[in-house]
């Protein structure tokens, strides 16, 4: 386990929590826009539509399942890993309760774009706290350490979950495409501003996606 220690620990924990909450709100906004969500959330949405429960509940369930896949990879986890698995899913559902679904095109676009930007900001915050990768981050980096490049690993995993989610009834739309194109530059912009470590990542986008 990655130790919960080091300099500026109170700030790092606070930054982690704020980042995870904002990440969940960003996903919730994209869901309520009805214009498409990130690949993993297409899967969560598809599972919710096919088998019941909420998108947030499935986010938590899938997070736990993904963490089990870490065992043979011997991937180190941290406080951020465990909180990521729970907080984001809870906040996704709370956002859906508080914010109604968009009924006007302009509102839908605003919610979708706002969600993508918020996820970019949130990613810089929670990744920059350096308290452990998210479950899906760790799966990709753990597999990549076995040989495949992280870009190839990420592409294969996300195409797979996106396809499965779409088959199950998840929403693949313009929001999914906007997210895929914008999230890398957004994280590369925000992460160095909140990275509490001696060596900020130069390829921050590779670590994104919970």
DSSP state of 104: S
Q: Is the pLDDT of residue 153 over 80?
A: yes
Confidence of residue 210 (pLDDT cuts 50, 70, 90): low
Q: Could you tell me the two tokens for 181?
A: 């194109």
Q: Residue ranges per domain, the chain?
A: 10-207
Predicted pLDDT of residue 1? 67
Confidence of residue 201 (pLDDT cuts 50, 70, 90): very low
Predicted pLDDT of residue 117? 97
Nearest one of 53, 39, 55 to 136, comparing CA atoms? 39
Q: Is the pLDDT of residue 202 over 50?
A: no
Predicted pLDDT of residue 3? 65
Q: Is the pLDDT of residue 207 over 70?
A: no
Predicted pLDDT of residue 173? 95
Distance of CA 124 to the CA centre of its chain: 11
The residues, any chain, with a CB within 8 Å of residue 122's CB and separated by 6 or more, are 18, 19, 20, 21, 22, 23, 25, 26
| Mean pLDDT, residues 60-65 | 96
Going through the chain in order, the beta strands assigned E by DSSP cover none
Do residues 99 and 28 touch, judged by C-beta distance below 8 A?
Answer: yes
Do residues 105 and 173 touch, judged by C-beta distance below 8 A?
Answer: no
- Cα 167 from Cα 153, distance rounded (Å): 21
- Cα 162 from Cα 133, distance rounded (Å): 21
């Amino acid at each position: 386990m990655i130790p919960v220690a080091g300099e500026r620990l109170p700030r790092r924990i606070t930054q982690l929590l704020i980042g995870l909450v904002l990440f969940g709100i960003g996903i919730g906004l994209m869901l309520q826009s009805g214009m498409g969500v990130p690949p993993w959330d297409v899967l969560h949405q598809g599972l919710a539509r096919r088998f019941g429960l909420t998108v947030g509940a499935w986010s938590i369930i899938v997070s736990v399942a993904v963490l089990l896949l870490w065992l043979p990879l011997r991937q180190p986890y941290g406080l951020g890993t465990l909180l990521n698995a729970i907080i984001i899913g809870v906040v996704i559902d709370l956002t859906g309760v508080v914010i109604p679904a968009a009924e006007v095109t302009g509102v839908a676009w605003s919610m979708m774009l706002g969600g993508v930007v918020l996820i970019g900001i949130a990613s810089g915050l929670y990744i920059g706290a350096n308290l452990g990768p998210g479950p899906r981050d760790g799966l990709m980096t753990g597999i990549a350490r076995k040989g495949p490049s992280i870009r190839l690993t990420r592409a294969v995993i996300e195409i797979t979950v996106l396809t499965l989610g779409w088959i199950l009834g998840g929403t693949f739309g313009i929001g999914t495409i906007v997210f895929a194109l914008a999230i890398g530059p957004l994280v590369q912009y925000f992460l160095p501003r909140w990275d509490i470590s001696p060596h900020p990542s130069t390829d921050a986008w590779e670590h994104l996606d919970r």
